[in-house]
């Protein structure tokens, strides 16, 4: 990449910082109006947006992009309406900044307040889904942050068109258009350059495959919020109610196998294994789910194939399930500790003491009792939005809503106090 | 470093992880007892600790270490007593883990709880003060974390001796000694190897000079909590009460010039500049403080030297103060935005509206009104402890107490709910 390209990026970051200073002063009312305008504009500019997208889909097909990828890229009227509705919902969420998180007075009379503030400038790196552009820009504006978006190369025209919509709304209300920025080059050197802008960019959120995320973490000097994998487990305890265990198993595996909160490994207490598998096995099979089991599982289910060691802790993201029969709760906990990704793990049991041990011992961002792992999601938790899911333990952990896009500051008010 | 050294480190990290699993289950009561035992042991093992330290101080002097560095290394009975007292205080703090941060029920009947949990394994890299060993180990144990300590090479013997004390107490209560670990090599390759242990170490805290911290950030794939610099400003507004402004200025600059929350630059509203400097100038001079001022400052104070551009935004950590006369609040805010480090900035004013603008606009972890910047500190804020100060905006911002050593998890309890 030419140094003139870096200069352009530096100018963009500088303007984004200036915009973030202004955004930090936006009222909740202003942000609501702004986003409602964006939502309306997506609908009124439908033709333009679809036309830009169509050209791009055409190019992608001509270039031989895989059909699944083309599908992720392609928009239609229904998808656009859903996007506009998504922005309208974000507009209506509670303002996440400005409120007082805590307030107290010290013996020396100093009055302290801990106040929610925006993060500043957020850099989001993602792949070729243009709806991510709209979702992320809305959430960042709602939380008074400026955003730098770097989407996939295939979606560049669509992303430009959506950013234009945001700019039109920002301009209408006299707000700086640099609150929403799009990296207009597909050169990876640009991403690396931005990942070194420590102190100018406050947070990086990579959304995409593990390879993309590892690359970002390796090169970033800016804090990164991410999750690599969702290796979610469901453990069916000996005291499980099968009327709960079977539907939870099917739902966790098959309702949407390609997402991070789908189950990848099923652990069965040996006492209940046979009874459970006789019920659940045929239903999994009906759902076209391949079962990769240990010796005990394969003895019970003739159509199960023998699992390799590498099937445990593997993220299939598909209709494939690893199954293991365990001696007891301890073995299940050890397995989750060893193979899990600290995302979401569930137990099915009617034994409250066993559930308590599981809740205390499993070190994952979400621990479920008698519920499907698929509930691990910002919307399902009632956050009204989700910018991502973090498997790190610092900052936001688990499903991350608007609150994850905020920080806080301490405001200390005195009457001339000095330290002695 | 030989690969056998890396293997040793890997074993250490593995054991620390195991210990952290166990530590996560410790009760508040247990941790209190454990730390009180450590505190008592520091006093009863006084002779041993001083002897180990003395040998080391001797070696350091012989090797020609700077007297200031030797002083940071050297212990005496008084310092040991203060350390034991510090541990006793940490023992008495409120348990930061296990409590419910939020609880709610979803329309589908799922009951959610957000529960405070320890981070897991914390890696702390610091320089040659052995009291940091004791402080950090105590805070990590109190928050149910395992810790890996990497102190300075000069303090290796003292650090070993203190870690022995912790091990004796852990052993006495049947807890794993691997909850407290010391890196026993000074080879920097060991630090780099540990900084790559993503997923095994949960947080890195570098404590020391900017160079040390930058090196850690550059190489770490693990989240880092840090602050590079404290470029703290005090702005004296035109409506300042000089009876507050003068003592705050002296206190912020001179009470302890070498620390990160000391003032480095003083900004003066032009209307009050002369009156203020006639009072404060001689007192700063009496305190042996060199004043580096702009043209306006130098016209008022003949003994001020003319500031270079590089004096603004410089962390002197010494009896040197940069001074600038500004037109108005806006210029002060712009100066702080441009030159500050987002650590702590203060305003002195009786004008509430001006104070409100300052509080809203200054993007620093602590914003002070009519109080000295020196109050920006975990103890002064009432946290009972301080593991560090963060100038990042993610995770803990500003002074970081025990809460900064925790994360949370979501516990979701259902009655067999599945997602539709």
pLDDT, tens only, A108-156: 999 999 999 999 999 999 987 899 999 999 999 999 999 999 999 899 9
Contacts of A415 in chain B (CB under 8 A): 244, 370
Give A129 to chain B, closest Cα distance, Å. Answer: 24
- Do the chains contact at B409 and A416, CB–CB below 8 Å? no
Residue of A nearest to B242 (CA): A416
d(C-alpha A78, C-alpha A64), whole Å = 25
> What is the number of domains present in chain A?
2
Residue of A nearest to B248 (CA): A418
pLDDT tops 90 at residue B65: no
Under 8 Å between Cβ of B342 and A202: no
Give B323 to chain A, closest Cα distance, Å. Answer: 20
Position A244 in a domain:
yes
Position B335 in a domain:
yes
User: Which residue range forms the structural domain that includes residue A283?
Assistant: 232-375
- Do the chains contact at A381 and B24, CB–CB below 8 Å? no
Residue of A nearest to B203 (CA): A394
B303 touches chain A (CB under 8 A): no
Mean pLDDT in residue range B29-37 = 98
Q: What pLDDT, on a 0 to 100 scale, did the predictor assign at position B238?
A: 98
Position A252 in a domain:
yes
Q: What pLDDT, on a 0 to 100 scale, did the predictor assign at position B184?
A: 93
Provide the pLDDT confidence category of residue A1 given band limits of 50, 70 and 90.
low
Under 8 Å between Cβ of B194 and B221: no
DSSP state of A255: S
- Assess whether B214 and B239 both reside in one domain: no
What number of C-beta contacts closer than 8 Å exist between A and B?
210
- Do the chains contact at A418 and B392, CB–CB below 8 Å? no
CATH number at residue A217: 3.40.605.10
Under 8 Å between Cβ of B366 and A110: no
Position B53 in a domain:
yes
Q: What pLDDT, on a 0 to 100 scale, did the predictor assign at position A208?
A: 85
pLDDT tops 90 at residue A304: yes
- Do the chains contact at B366 and A412, CB–CB below 8 Å? yes
pLDDT tops 90 at residue B127: no
- Assess whether A237 and A220 both reside in one domain: no
Position A387 in a domain:
no
Contacts of B218 in chain A (CB under 8 A): 221
- Assess whether A244 and A211 both reside in one domain: no
The pLDDT mean for chain B works out to 95
* DSSP bridge pairs for A347: A235, A369
Residues 6+ apart with CB under 8 A from A281: A291, A300, A301, A303, A304
What value does the CA radius of gyration of chain B take, rounded to a whole number of Å?
24
- Assess whether A219 and A290 both reside in one domain: no
Mean pLDDT in residue range A29-47 = 98
Task: State ipTM.
Answer: 0.94
Burial (CB count within 10 angstroms: exposed 0-12, middle 13-18, buried 19+), residue A184: middle
d(C-alpha A386, C-alpha B193), whole Å = 34
- Assess whether A253 and A210 both reside in one domain: no
List the helix and strand counts (H, then E) for chain B: 14, 16
pLDDT, tens digit, for every residue of B201-222?
Answer: 999 999 988 899 999 999 999 9
* DSSP bridge pairs for A399: A389
d(C-alpha B289, C-alpha B249), whole Å = 12
- Assess whether B82 and B220 both reside in one domain: yes
A21 touches chain B (CB under 8 A): yes
Angstrom distances, CA of residue A278 to CA of A247, A282, A283, A312, B416: 14, 7, 9, 22, 19
Q: Which of the residue ranges A36-50, A172-186, A274-288, B385-399 would you say has the lowest mean pLDDT?
A: B385-399
Position B420 in a domain:
no
Q: What pLDDT, on a 0 to 100 scale, did the predictor assign at position B1?
A: 66
Three-class secondary structure assignment of B124-146: EECCCCHHHHHHHHHHHHHCCCE
pLDDT, tens digit, for every residue of A255-269?
Answer: 999 999 999 999 999
- Do the chains contact at A369 and B411, CB–CB below 8 Å? yes
Under 8 Å between Cβ of B104 and B405: no
Position B381 in a domain:
no
Mean pLDDT in residue range A207-232 = 91
- Assess whether B53 and B160 both reside in one domain: yes
Q: Where are the alpha helices (H) located in A147-301, listed in sequence order?
A: 156-172, 188-195, 210-219, 242-254, 270-286, 295-300
The tokens for A396 are 């936001």
Q: Tell how far CA A61 is from the center of its chain.
A: 28
- Assess whether B263 and B175 both reside in one domain: no
- Do the chains contact at A394 and B25, CB–CB below 8 Å? no
Contacts of B110 in chain A (CB under 8 A): 371, 375, 380
d(C-alpha A157, C-alpha A148), whole Å = 16
pLDDT, tens digit, for every residue of A51-109?
Answer: 999 999 999 999 998 888 888 899 999 999 999 999 999 999 999 999 999 999 999 99
- Assess whether B238 and B330 both reside in one domain: yes
- Do the chains contact at A392 and B202, CB–CB below 8 Å? yes
* DSSP bridge pairs for B114: B102, B410
Contacts of A23 in chain B (CB under 8 A): none
pLDDT tops 70 at residue A284: yes
Q: What pLDDT, on a 0 to 100 scale, did the predictor assign at position A128?
A: 74
Testing the interface with B: which of A411, A415, A420 to mutate, by most B Cβ within 10 A?
A: A411
Locus of tokens 């495959």:
A209
Measure CB to CB from residue B366 to each of A203, A370, A410 and give the nearest one: A410
Q: 220-249 in B: which are within 8 Å (CB) of A?
A: 221, 223-225, 241, 243-244, 247-248
Output the CA torsion B262→B265→B267→B268 (10° steps).
80
Contacts of B103 in chain A (CB under 8 A): none
- Assess whether A15 and A158 both reside in one domain: yes
Under 8 Å between Cβ of B231 and B288: no
CATH number at residue B277: 3.40.309.10
- Assess whether B130 and B29 both reside in one domain: yes
What value does the CA radius of gyration of chain A take, rounded to a whole number of Å?
24
d(C-alpha A340, C-alpha A232), whole Å = 7
Position A394 in a domain:
no
Q: What pLDDT, on a 0 to 100 scale, did the predictor assign at position A142?
A: 98
pLDDT tops 80 at residue A13: yes
Residue of B nearest to A214 (CA): B221
Percentage of chain A beyond pLDDT 70 is 100
Q: Whole-prediction pTM value? A: 0.93
Burial (CB count within 10 angstroms: exposed 0-12, middle 13-18, buried 19+), residue B331: middle
pLDDT tops 80 at residue A3: no
Under 8 Å between Cβ of A21 and B363: yes
- Do the chains contact at A21 and B363, CB–CB below 8 Å? yes
- Assess whether B127 and B198 both reside in one domain: yes
Residue (of A354, A215, A321, A248) closest to B417 by Cα position:
A248
The pLDDT mean for chain A works out to 95
Residue of B nearest to A394 (CA): B395
- Do the chains contact at B369 and A414, CB–CB below 8 Å? yes
A203 touches chain B (CB under 8 A): yes
């Amino acid at each position: 990449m030419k140094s003139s390209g870096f200069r352009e990026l530096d100018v963009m970051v500088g303007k984004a910082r200036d915009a973030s200073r202004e955004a930090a002063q936006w009222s909740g009312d202003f942000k609501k109006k702004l986003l409602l305008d964006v939502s309306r504009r997506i609908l009124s500019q439908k033709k333009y947006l679809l036309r830009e997208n169509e050209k791009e889909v055409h190019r992608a097909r001509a270039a031989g992009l895989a059909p699944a990828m083309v599908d992720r890229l392609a928009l239609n009227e229904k998808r656009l309406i859903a996007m506009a509705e998504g922005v309208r919902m974000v507009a209506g969420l509670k303002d996440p900044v400005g409120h007082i998180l805590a307030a107290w007075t010290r013996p020396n009379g100093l009055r302290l307040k801990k106040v929610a503030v925006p993060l500043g400038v957020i850099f989001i790196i993602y792949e070729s889904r243009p709806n991510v552009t709209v979702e992320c820009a809305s959430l960042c504006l709602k939380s008074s942050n400026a955003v730098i978006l770097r989407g996939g190369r295939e979606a560049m025209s669509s992303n430009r068109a959506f950013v234009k919509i945001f700019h039109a709304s920002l301009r209408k209300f006299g707000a700086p258009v640099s609150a929403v920025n799009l990296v207009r080059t597909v050169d990876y050197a640009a991403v690396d350059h931005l990942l070194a802008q420590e102190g100018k960019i406050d947070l990086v959120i990579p959304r995409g495959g593990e390879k993309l995320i590892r690359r970002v973490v390796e090169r970033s000097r800016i804090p990164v919020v991410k999750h690599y994998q969702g290796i979610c487990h469901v453990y069916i305890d000996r005291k499980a109610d099968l009327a709960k265990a079977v539907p939870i198993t099917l739902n966790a595996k098959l309702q949407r196998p390609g997402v991070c909160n789908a189950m990848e490994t099923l652990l069965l207490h040996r006492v209940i294994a046979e009874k459970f598998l006789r019920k659940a096995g045929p239903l999994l099979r009906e759902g076209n789910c391949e079962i990769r089991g240990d010796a005990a599982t394969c003895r019970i289910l003739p159509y199960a194939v023998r699992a390799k060691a590498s099937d445990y802790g593997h993220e299939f993201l598909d209709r494939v399930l690893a199954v293991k029969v365990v001696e007891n709760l301890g073995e299940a906990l050890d397995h989750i500790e060893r193979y899990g990704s600290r995302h979401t793990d569930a137990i099915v049991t009617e034994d409250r003491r066993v559930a308590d041990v599981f809740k205390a011992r499993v070190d994952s961002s979400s621990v479920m009792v008698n519920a499907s792992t698929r509930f691990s999601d910002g919307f399902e938790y009632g956050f009204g939005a989700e910018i991502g899911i973090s498997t790190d333990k610092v900052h936001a952990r688990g499903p991350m809503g608007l609150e994850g896009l905020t920080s806080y500051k301490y405001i200390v008010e005195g009457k001339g106090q000095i330290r002695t």
